[in-house]
Amino acid sequence: MRYRYLTVIFHGITISIVILFAIVLLFPEMGSADDHPGLNEILEGFEEDTATSDSDEDVLNGFDDTFKDSPAPEDSDTSTLPKTSFGVSFLSSSLSLDGYLKIGSSYNFAHKPPSYGQTDWRGLSRLRTELQLDLNINLPKQWKALVSGKGFYDFAFRINSKDDYTDDVIDEYESEIEFREVYLLGTLGKNIDIKIGRQIVVWGKSDNIRVTDVINPLDIREPAMTDIEDLRLPLTMTRVDYYVGDFNISAMAIHEIRFNKNPVLDSDFYPFPIAAPPEDKPDSTLENTEFAIALNGIFSGWDFSAYFADFYNDEPRFESVGGFPIPVFQLAHNRLQMVGSTANVALGNWLLKAEAAWFHGFEFVNTPGEEYDRIDVLAGFEYSGFSETTISLEAVNRHIIEFESILGHFPDQATEDQFQSALRFTRTFANETITLTVLASLFGLTGDDGAFERYTIEYDVNDSLSVLFGIVTYQSGDLPEMQHIGKNDRILIEAKYSF
């Protein structure tokens, strides 16, 4: 039976690739940005707040994510925008449409036969088609807008029969459609930009571990399957950026209260045998508005950022709401304050990274009425001295100040120190058309709290079409959310057409 599912995966991917190639052959004008020299200029300012490069100089150019996100006014002139073949066919010169179509499958090979009444997660776990469309709009007086939407449908639930899954799993994993980034961007003066709407803001220097990157929640319904940059969920906010010399000040008022998308009950990544307590989520009201401010500076060979945020913790905690002799709990989100700083230093082939943050406002059931502080410190490096190879290592320790042993008891199950590390190896082949990536992340010094590894090979068929094959392995550990994760090893296959 499981081999039938594996056959379905490969047949599905083969058909998908044929369809994508047909699109390329039938519509050659829908080619890559390299076919249209002006396309990058049109899209400038609509990229996410991340950038990667192969040289130290390029890395330094991407240090200030905010600069990438909000281009300086003098670079925002769109009065002489070139037309692309794709845009001319059905859009005016002030509009451009891009996005991607992705078809991906995963096959679970480590699950044991389920107990009676439990979902059988062996074999095919995903056969998902995903489409994202980004409409870029160039407006008068150097203003721009972006309207982005994404949706997916997973055929695995039909192939495996919906009756085999709970309603919660079907509702959360079978299909989804939502707006992504939707914003209006413009200038208020020579050195001031304003951006209003749904946005993604990237703080910090680490590519694999979050310390100061606290603005946007994450989609972690299937953890470790992809990088953090693909997991961030946009939030509605008003953002103002002020530029002076080598510095940029970015201030945000975040109007939309939104939290992580976590695994749901009876999904293969849900860690507990019973349902979690009901969750108390604050409303998106003026009173609950979150605030954040960042100071960024770029200098010769290094950069520096300082942050402050007043926000709700994306990770909920247990809160007692009465009950005797059996206590009753709900999940609540603490209002936290964070002060942090980050730095990058380039030394030849080495890029050194550091992040530190102080958090105030953590609460626990076992010590009612008390608030705790936590200090997170991260250090790491990236080395690119080998040909077509990059190696990075990052490690963080999260320390709760004035920790009490009672916090380790149920239901808090907190630890005084939580260590995490991430090792990434990337190498390209065949004129950078093939990319091998290995990522290993450990929780605890030796992975005693849990771990995962992801191995992927991606082949760029051309500038628009890429295919990926990968394996993700998990090891269970002492952390509550990692205690049963070791059974979720899987194979990944994916085809992506970008236009």
Mean pLDDT score, 466-484: 96
Query: Which of 62-76, 298-312, 335-349, 455-469 shows the lowest per-residue confidence on average (mean pLDDT)?
Result: 62-76
Q: Is the pTM value of this prediction over 0.75?
A: yes
Instruction: Check residue 194 and give its pLDDT.
Output: 98
Q: Residue 466: pLDDT band by 50, 70, 90 thresholds?
A: very high
Please name the residues in contact with 172: beta carbons below 8 A apart, sequence gap of 6 or more. 221, 264, 267
> What pLDDT is attached to residue 106?
97
Q: Does the pLDDT at position 327 exceed 90?
A: no
pLDDT band at 55 (very low <50, low <70, confident <90, very high): very low
Question: What is the domain-level CATH number for residue 319?
Answer: 2.40.160.10
With a cut of 80, say whether residue 317 has pLDDT above it. yes
More confident residue, 417 or 45: 417
Over residues 314-341, the mean pLDDT reads: 93
**Model pLDDT, residue 68:** 40
pLDDT tens figures, 254-307: 999 999 999 999 999 999 989 999 999 999 999 999 999 999 999 999 999 999
CB 185 within 8 Å of CB 195: yes
b/e burial code for range 408-426 (CB count within 10 A of at least 16 → b):
eeeebebbeebbbbbbbeb
- The pLDDT of residue 389 is 98
How large a percentage of the chain has pLDDT more than 90? Answer: 77
Query: Band of the pLDDT at 115, cuts 50, 70, 90?
Result: confident
Determine the pLDDT at residue 91. 59
Residue 7 has pLDDT above 70, yes or no: no
Q: Is the pLDDT of residue 36 over 90?
A: no
**Per-residue pLDDT, 97:** 97
pLDDT at 33 over 70: no
Residues 6+ positions from 446 with CB-CB distance below 8 Å: none
Please write the tens of the pLDDT for every residue from 349-387.
Answer: 999 999 999 999 999 999 999 999 999 999 999 999 999
Say whether pLDDT at 59 is over 90: no
Work out how many domains the chain is built from and give that number: 1
pLDDT > 70 fraction of the chain, expressed in percent and rounded: 82
Average pLDDT score over residue span 393-416: 96
**Tell me: the pLDDT tens digits for 150-165?**
999 999 999 998 888 9
Q: Are strands 302-312 and 123-139 parallel, antiparallel or unpaired?
A: unpaired
Per-residue pLDDT for 67 more than 60?
A: no
Indicate if the pLDDT at residue 64 is higher than 70: no
The mean of the pLDDT values for the chain is 86
Domain containing residue 61: 2-498
> If you average pLDDT over residues 121-141, what whole number do you get?
96
**What is the structure's pLDDT at 93?**
78
- The 10s digit of each residue's pLDDT in 410-449 is 999 999 999 999 999 999 999 999 999 999 999 999 999 9
Q: Give the pLDDT band (50/70/90) at residue 79.
A: very low
Mean pLDDT of 210-216: 98
For range 484-488, the mean pLDDT:
95
